[in-house]
Amino acid sequence: MTVNGTTLLLAGVTKRFGEHIALDAVDLAIETGGVHGLIGPNGSGKTTLLNIVSGVLQPEGGGIAYGDKDITAAPAHRIARLGIARTFQNLRIFKRLSVFDNVCAACSGSGGTLGRFGGLLPRRWRYDEIAPFLSFVGLLERAEDIAQDLPLGAQRRLELARALAGRPKLVLLDEPAGGMTPVETDHMAELVSDIAGQGITIVMVEHKMKLVMGVCERVAVLHQGRLIADGTPGDVQADPLVKEAYMGTRGSDA
Ligand SMILES: Nc1ncnc2c1ncn2[C@@H]1O[C@H](COP(=O)(O)OP(=O)(O)OP(=O)(O)O)[C@@H](O)[C@H]1O
Ligand SMILES: [Mg+2]
């Protein structure tokens, strides 16, 4: 899914909430493969950008292409079918379902059987179909546990397993290490690198600079809805505009 090496292309993407401009004519090209960081102070528009790419929100202006497809106005389910998965800053796991069933639910849409009244019944997933995803994120031992009983860090890993269960080509991560301990954050860094190593392109929103600088090949920076920098981690860290944007704000929690 590439056009000239670009997987995802945003051109002039603008999003308003009433009078507030959350994204202001953002141009961004995400190359195929690797981990692409998206950083910026609180309220700079990072989650809004992921919401627009994943079809949760529609932009008021500009366009988005995924490979050779225009996905600007595409609904979330179509974007997911095209191979874009995401995680949420505020987790969207099914808290009362087991860890196993959470991943099963994320696999849905890839088959089913016709029910007695003609509706499509979700197909039942075998243990060996789900286990690799749980094993990858270190949750196989907890497959039968109820999701809400997991600590936050494990819930974030479950959310990641759910995103991977749809076998995406592009994964959008919204603060995958939010609320994690340093040890859990290091584990998440390994997982993110492993996923990229499998040829899946990652766009990662994160505040934890050690994680961003450790795993990202490129980093884009949003400030008040505008893209103010886009380059290697070293270039971005040294950029005076970026330093100014973070001045007096919560730039990093690690
Ligand atoms: N549904 C909404 N309705 C109104 N305003 C919104 C909505 N979603 C986001 N905003 C506003 O848009 C701006 C960008 O929000 P967004 O959540 O994208 O920021 P963010 O960069 O993800 O911040 P954080 O680092 O705190 O998660 C903020 O000022 C926010 O208050
Ligand atoms: Mg956010």
pLDDT, tens digit (0-9, with 9 covering 90-100), for 72-93: 999 999 999 999 999 999 999 9
pLDDT at 6: 80
Residue 108 clears pLDDT 70, i.e. is over it: no
DSSP string, the chain: --BTTEEEEEEEEEEEETTEEEEEEEEEEEESSSEEEEE-STTSSHHHHHHHHTTSS--SEEEEEETTEE-TT--HHHHHHTTEEE--SS----TTSBHHHHHHHHHTTS-EEE-TTSPEEEPPPPHHHHHHHHHHTT-GGGTTSBGGGS-HHHHHHHHHHHHHHT--SEEEEESTTTT--HHHHHHHHHHHHHHHHTT-EEEEE-S-HHHHHHH-SEEEEEETTEEEEEE-HHHHHH-HHHHHHHTTS-----
Task: Supply φ then ψ for residue 245, to 5 degrees.
Answer: -60, -35
Find out whether 87 and 173 touch, Cβ atoms under 8 Å. Answer: yes
Residue 40 near ligand 1, beta carbon < 6 Å: yes
pLDDT above 70 covers a percentage of the chain that reads 89
- pLDDT of 120: 52
Residue boundaries of the structural domains of the chain: 1-83+168-254, 89-167
pLDDT of residue 237: 93
Query: What is the atom index within ligand 1 of the atom nearest the CA of 44?
Result: 21
- Mean pLDDT score of the chain, rounded to an integer? 91
How do beta strands 170-174 and 120-122 pair?
A: unpaired
Task: Please list the residues that pair with 14 across neighbouring strands.
Answer: 61
Name the β-bridge partners of 196.
Answer: none
Q: What angle do CA 23, 29, 31 make, to 5 degrees?
A: 145
CB 65 within 8 A of CB 1: no
What pLDDT is recorded for position 251?
Answer: 45
127 in ligand 1 pocket by Cβ < 6 Å? no
Give the least confident one: 57-61, 66-70, 125-129, 238-242.
125-129
Q: Which atom of ligand 1 is nearest to the CA of 207?
A: 25
In this predicted structure, what is the pLDDT of residue 116? Answer: 58
**What separation in Å is there between the alpha carbon of 112 and the centre of ligand 2?**
35
CATH number for the domain running over 1-83+168-254 = 3.40.50.300
Q: Burial level of 49, CB count in 10 A (0-12/13-18/19+)?
A: buried
**What pLDDT is attached to residue 125?**
85
β-sheet with 61-66: strand ranges across = 20-31, 6-17, 61-66, 69-70
Q: How far is the CA of 71 from the centre of ligand 1 (A)?
A: 22
pLDDT of 231 > 90? The answer is: yes
Q: In sequence order, which residues have a C-beta less than 8 Å from that of residue 44 and are 6 or more positions away?
A: 222, 223, 224, 225, 245
Out of 37-41, 122-126, 240-244, least confident range? 122-126
CB of 86 closer than 6 angstroms to any ligand 1 atom: no
Residue-wise pLDDT for 194-214, tens only, equals 999 999 999 999 999 999 999
Average pLDDT of span 114-128: 66
d(CA 253, CA 243): 15
Q: Could you tell me which residue, 3 or 49, shows the higher pLDDT?
A: 49
Query: Does 6 sit in the ligand 1 pocket, CB within 6 Å?
Result: no
Residue 112 scores a pLDDT above 70: no
Top-confidence residue, 214 or 122: 214
Check residue 124 and give its pLDDT.
Answer: 76
Q: What is the DSSP pairing of strand 35-39 with strand 218-223?
A: parallel
pLDDT band per the 50, 70, 90 thresholds, residue 67:
very high
Check whether 253 has a pLDDT greater than 70. no
Q: Is the pLDDT of residue 252 over 80?
A: no
* Segment among 3-12, 31-40, 46-55, 220-229 with least mean pLDDT: 3-12
Is residue 119 predicted with pLDDT exceeding 90?
Answer: no
Give the span between the Cα atoms of 153 and 246, in whole angstroms: 26
